[in-house]
Structure 1
Amino acid sequence: MTGHEHPRPESTSAAVDEQMLEDYLNQHLLGSRPGVPAFRAAADTWEGTPQHAVLARLADGVQASQDDLEELITRLGFRTPVRDRAAGAVAAAGGRLNPVNAVRAKGSGWTQVELDVLTGALQGQSEMWRILERLAPHVPGLDAEEARGLLEQTREYLAEVQRVTDETLLRRFLG
């Protein structure tokens, strides 16, 4: 055991499939890797507008949520496979390239798709925290209150992306 690993807490429930939970958390971590760069890329799209500051702040919040997930994986005594870490680094780099809105246009259909992708990412993250809240009574080291707080925070981020969409929607679609 290295200094970075924590012993796995004893399970209080034989019903908890720890391999399933470990895989689930790692898949969410892997899926979240392009999220922070995608938020930063979206902020770049909106450079010079009030939406830029909102999206840049959300990128920092999404990074903190990702850090929380990494800490949770460690606290539960789970590991992230090397191949997942490598794939996550590649995904993060791809997210910064912004394949959804490569030219950073504010007035194209891609602009809305970019916001839709951010919305979908936050919906997925929200669902993960909701599931973890429900599992908490069965998983030692998993705190329902912490998961509930992260769920609420993610829902606030989602509402902010939806506000950006609503504030800019008519200008884009109605000219």
Structure 2
Amino acid sequence: MSETPAAPASESQPSALDREMLEDYLNQHLLGSRPGVPAFRAAADTWEGTPQHAVLARLADGVEASQERLEEIIARLGFTTPVRDRAAGAVAAAGGRLNPVNAVRAKGSGWTQVELDVLTGALQGQSEMWRILERLAPHVPGLDAEEARGLLEQTREYLAEVQRVTDETLLRRFLG
């Protein structure tokens, strides 16, 4: 009779929460989100005078609200954001507003698409964070799976809107 090998520990068999790891993860996402709001505002400026401007300006407000929700979750879990991260976040936010991706706010250059690609990547990262928090919620007191799921769906909607802006404008940019 052969023995069945022991199954490796899986995510369904969690051990004690590594609070330090979760705190660091959330703070890294918060730090990474700091240039996001100004980047969305800068992208809206790029599209000033077009229907895309209103979409990107609204998304900037939504991304800012999501960032505030992340700050609330960090506080609710009893975590803090190190001073160095707050300072680095302020610098990153300023850099995002300067818009190093599309500094001249050109609608007709390759940078215009890169700017939209950067927004897409930021939202994909944010989506993954909310998905992970949804999965962790049953194991972490203070995390709310419904809240994380709602934020995940909202971020996916934002992502779809940026992709719509891309789809609505790419043929003009790339095919003249």
Same fold (TM over 0.5): yes
Deviations 1:117-169 (A, max 9, x none): 00000000000000000000000000000000000000000000000000000
Q: Structure 2: state its 5+ residue gaps.
A: 6-10
The secondary structure found in structure 2 opposite 1:127 is helix
1:12·1:140 contact (CA, 8 Å) conserved in 2? Answer: no
Shift of 1:16: 1.0
Deviations 1:67-115 (A, max 9, x none): 0000000000000000000000000000000000000000000000000
Q: Quick one: higher RCO (CA 8 Å, sep 6+), 1 or 2? A: 1
1:6·1:74 contact (CA, 8 Å) conserved in 2? Answer: no
User: Measured at CA, do residues 76 and 6 of structure 1 come closer, stay the same or move farther in structure 2, by a change above 3 Å?
Assistant: farther
CA distance in 2, matches of 1:137, 1:158: 26
User: Measured at CA, do residues 6 and 65 of structure 1 come closer, stay the same or move farther in structure 2, by a change above 3 Å?
Assistant: farther
Shift of 1:30: 0.1
CA distance in 1, matches of 2:65, 2:82: 21
Q: Structure 1: state its 5+ residue gaps.
A: none
| Runs of 4 or more above 4 Å deviation | 10-14
CA distance in 2, matches of 1:143, 1:99: 36
Give the corresponding residue for 1:115.
Answer: 116
TM-score (norm 2): 0.92
Identity of aligned residues (%): 92
User: Measured at CA, do residues 6 and 165 of structure 1 come closer, stay the same or move farther in structure 2, by a change above 3 Å?
Assistant: farther
TM-score (norm 1): 0.92
Which structure: larger Rg? Answer: 2
Deviations 1:21-57 (A, max 9, x none): 0000000000000000000000000000000000000
Shift of 1:15: 2.1
CA distance in 2, matches of 1:11, 1:73: 24
CA distance in 1, matches of 2:131, 2:61: 21
Aligned length: 169
